[in-house]
Copies of this chain bind each other. A is one copy, B any other.
Amino acid sequence: MTVKDLSHHLSNESKGRQPSALKTAFKYFGQENMVFLGGGLPLSDYFPWDKITAHSPAPPFSNGIGAKPTNEKDTTVTEVGKVKELDYDVPLGRSLQYGHTEGQVELTDFLKTHTEIIHKIPNKEWDLVLSVGNTQSWEATLRTFCNPDDTVVVEEYSFSSAIETVRALGISMAPVEMDDEGIIPEKLDQLFNEWDSPKPKPKLLYTISTGQNPTGSSLSNERREAIYKIASKHDFIIVEDEPYYFLQMADYEKGASEPPAVTHEQFLAGLVKSFSSLDVEGRVVRLDSFSKVLAPGTRLGWIVAQKKLLERFIRLHEVSIQTPSGFSQTLVAGLLGRWGQDGYLDWLIGLRKEYTIKRNFTMNSLLKHMPKDVVAFEPPMAGMFFIVKIDASKHPKFATEFGKDPIKVETAIYEKSLEQGCLLIPGSWFKSPNFKEHGSTEIFFRGTYAAVALEKLDLGLSRFGKAIELEFGL
Query: Chain B residues with Cβ under 8 A from A98's Cβ?
Result: 291, 296-297
Identify the closest chain B residue to A131 (Cβ): B321
How far apart sit A324 and B296, CA to CA, in the bound complex (Å)? 11
Chain B residues within 8 Å of A43, by CB: 66, 354, 450-451
Please provide the chain A residues from 31 to 56 with a CB less than 8 Å away from any CB of chain B in the complex.
Answer: 33-56
Contact at B96–A296, with CB atoms within 8 Å? yes
Given B57, B320, B429, which contacts A22 in the complex, CB threshold below 8 Å? B429
Q: A474: CB under 8 A from chain B?
A: no
A133 at the interface (CB under 8 A from B): yes
Binds B, one of A1-9, A160-168, A173-181: A160-168
A374 within 8 A of B: no
Please name the residue on chain B nearest to A350 by beta carbon: B46
CB distance from A311 to the nearest CB of B (A): 14
Cβ A66 vs Cβ B39 within 8 A: no
- A302-326 at interface with B (beta carbon < 8 Å): 315, 318-326
Q: Quick one: closest B residue to A61, CB to CB?
A: B48
Question: Is A271 interfacial (CB-CB < 8 Å)?
Answer: no
Which of chain A's residues 115-131 have a Cβ closer than 8 Å to chain B?
none
Contact indicator B354/A326 (Cβ below 8 Å): no
Q: A35 — which chain B residues lie within 8 A by C-beta?
A: 421-423, 452, 456-457, 459-460, 463
A143: min CB distance to chain B, Å: 9
Q: Are B450 and A40 interface neighbours, CB within 8 A?
A: yes
Given A16-B170, A22-B425, A40-B385, does the pair A48, B65 have CB atoms closer than 8 Å?
yes
Query: Is A37 in contact with B297, judged by CB distance below 8 angstroms?
Result: no
Interface-lining segment among A255-263, A277-285, A327-335, A405-413: A327-335
**Contacting pair B66 A46 (CB below 8 A):** yes
Of B97, B328, B448, the contact of A296 (CB 8 Å cutoff) = B97
Q: Is A378 an interface residue (CB 8 A)?
A: no
Q: Point out the residues of chain B lying under 8 angstroms from A351, CB to CB.
A: 46
The residues of B that contact A54 with a CB separation of less than 8 Å are 49, 51-53
A28: CB under 8 A from chain B?
Answer: yes
In this assembly, does A17 line the interface, its C-beta being within 8 Å of a C-beta of chain B?
yes
A261 → chain B closest CB, angstroms: 19
CB of B168 within 8 A of CB of A13, answer: yes
Contact of A135 among B12, B69, B320 (CB under 8 A): B320
Extra inter-chain contacts (20) besides given A50-B56, A96-B298, A136-B320, CB under 8 Å = A18-B168, A22-B425, A34-B422, A37-B422, A37-B461, A38-B423, A39-B448, A41-B296, A42-B292, A42-B451, A43-B66, A45-B66, A47-B297, A49-B56, A52-B52, A165-B320, A297-B326, A297-B327, A298-B326, A327-B327
A-B contact pairs, 30 of them (CB 8 A): A12-B170, A14-B168, A16-B168, A18-B164, A18-B167, A20-B160, A22-B429, A35-B422, A35-B452, A36-B460, A37-B424, A38-B447, A38-B448, A39-B448, A40-B448, A41-B296, A42-B292, A43-B354, A43-B450, A46-B65, A49-B335, A52-B55, A96-B296, A97-B296, A132-B322, A135-B322, A168-B315, A297-B325, A297-B327, A299-B324
